[in-house]
Structure 1
């Protein structure tokens, strides 16, 4: 399996040539990046300009993926396909027409809510999940129409269930785990996961220590975490989403957790009741380790080579092939 291509369902760093080369050399052939967390439409457009500039400058290493065929091109040319995504719907400025505008700008994956409630629905940290709003139903339908994948990673349970039901296309949970495997508010309950599977969706198993616990401590633990999810959901519905934050600025974590909405301490996915993980755990968060985890799944007999290929490439590719394409007659 060594050398087989990898798709990472979610990262949130800042890329330069060095990071792009590390991704390429580590076998990553597509990655969904985070263009914005709390940023509005104009700020997100500025961020997209930056991504376009980086890819233009380093076109021998990377390309922007607007379709599944672009990921095929990245594999064929040994480059990294950058899937433009956001971890909030704030870029839409509560304007339904902005969804098509941002699709035209290349955005292909949008998480409905981040860490607080918005006009679409509730986050996983709200004490009461009020569900998908009327506007939220409109957003899901419009994302389906233009060809933009709905992501539910930080979304509350009721809102997630209602979004899955509302969506005419399979949805993604691109960086989270099953709550039954590791109990955390950011991870997903059985009802959501059953609905995800029933509608053809994909979960990106996440080895981020805050939502994976001791599974994130070693490569074998990461392999076991993936194998447990395959046993729970079936191999067709499990992929990988690292939640890596390469080359991030010093204040990035505070921005992710607090944005502009809070002056209080916001812990995000970290748990104040649990001590921070040992520094050694961070070794798992390395682009070159993705393929090692995949290979250990095979070497230990946890998955076949074909199944491991599905998890680390095929399942995201299938979802993207369909999910990035507009509905018939949708666009002028």
Structure 2
């Protein structure tokens, strides 16, 4: 698999250059500024939580340089999940110049060529399917391509990361994973408990992934963080880990001691433990950022305070350099300063996800 990946990434990188420059240059043969590299790169945010869609958000999409996102849709009830999918279908239809529905890797490539945002539908829980396996088929038919097995608590599939127990996948959960594999739906383990994560990695073929998480080695004792062994096990199976830019996941003091440099430390650590082909970027908040729409009264009090104390949620929860549409451009500059080559930066920005989507998604 690693040989195939190296071959793919060499070809894909050259293709990305060709999109922007009109010729199939190999990345090692060109020297360019970080801004030029970013503008040419495929840039994927593997979890963008859509809120306050309107003029500010649409303008943020244009400024972000993003090629595509996975968006987080309703997951608590079946009707809510279907309603959210319908709303996104309408949004894409109303803004065909801006959005493109993504059900395969090819849609991300097409979005780059057409200067649009590829939107992959995802859900951060399996609660909405209840015990009805056939609902996975319905979701797939409607465009869902990523489902997280659990949120923070236990469901019929397995245990979440803040659950007192650590019981792993249920028998039903194993069957859910197998059906998702058959359909071509990504198995996301970001919020799953430790044993559920290991079980998801073990039973998923093609590989499972972490779309939005961080490193326990950097942020100790946080229930959402993944240990070195979890990261290594995931990477060994061919998965990818998106490092979340949400401030209280990056460190205990967002905007203070926890900065974009801390975020880059997480990226560095995944590279060290899992390898350069298995790390990517994500936000876990809207493209326009948090500060422009959220207040303590409208978000922290009703939403963030509902998490268990182990989440250690702080207000404000953003890191200034990451709480803006150009966040990943800032990350690219930071990676360059840390000595990353152009081809490695492009892998982290989006090519690693693109290869993974080629492996898992079936259109």
- TM-score strictly above 0.5: yes
Say whether the 8 Å CA contact 1:115–1:268 is kept in structure 2.
Answer: no
Distance 2:300 2:282 in 1: 18
TM-score by length of 1: 0.88
1:314 match: secondary structure? helix
1:60 match: secondary structure? coil
Q: Which residue of 1 aligns with 2:46?
A: 9
Distance 1:215 1:84 in 2: 29
Say whether the 8 Å CA contact 1:176–1:204 is kept in structure 2.
Answer: yes
Structure 2 counterpart of 1:234, from 264, 271, 275 = 275
**Are 1:191 and 2:191 counterparts?**
no
Give structure 2 stretches of 5+ with no counterpart: 1-36
Q: Which residue of 1 aligns with 2:126?
A: 89
2:103 match: secondary structure? coil
**Are 1:103 and 2:140 counterparts?**
yes
The Cα RMSD (Å) is: 2.3
Equivalent residues in 2 for 1:200-215, closer than 5 Å: 200-213=238-251
Distance 1:254 1:87 in 2: 21
Say whether the 8 Å CA contact 2:187–2:209 is kept in structure 1.
Answer: yes
Q: Which residue of 1 aligns with 2:82?
A: 45
Instruction: Name which of structure 1's ranges 289-298 and 235-244 shifts more when overlaid on structure 2.
Output: 289-298
Say whether the 8 Å CA contact 2:42–2:66 is kept in structure 1.
Answer: yes
Distance 2:309 2:55 in 1: 30
Runs in 1 of length 4+ with deviation above 2 angstroms?
A: 13-18, 214-225, 245-258, 265-270, 276-283
Give structure 1 stretches of 5+ with no counterpart: 259-264, 327-332
Q: Which residue of 2 aligns with 1:261?
A: none
Structure 2 counterpart of 1:151, from 188, 199, 202 = 188
Cα deviation 1:223-251 (Å, max 9, x = unaligned): 33312221221101101121113557975
Displacement, 1:304?
1.1
Displacement, 1:21?
3.2
Cα deviation 1:102-145 (Å, max 9, x = unaligned): 00100000000002100000000011111100100110000000
Aligned residues: 315
Displacement, 1:152?
0.5
Q: Which residue of 2 aligns with 1:29?
A: 67
Equivalent residues in 2 for 1:135-284, closer than 5 Å: 135-183=172-220, 184-213=222-251, 217-245=258-286, 246=288, 265-267=306-308, 270-271=311-312, 276=314, 281-284=319-322
Q: Could you say if the C-alpha distance between residues 317 and 255 of structure 1 is closer, same or farther in structure 2, counting changes exceeding 3 Å?
A: farther
Instruction: Name which of structure 1's ranges 88-97 and 10-19 shifts more when overlaid on structure 2.
Output: 10-19
Say whether the 8 Å CA contact 1:37–1:256 is kept in structure 2.
Answer: no
Cα deviation 1:244-303 (Å, max 9, x = unaligned): 135579756667668xxxxxx53477416xxx36677344222212112112211331x1
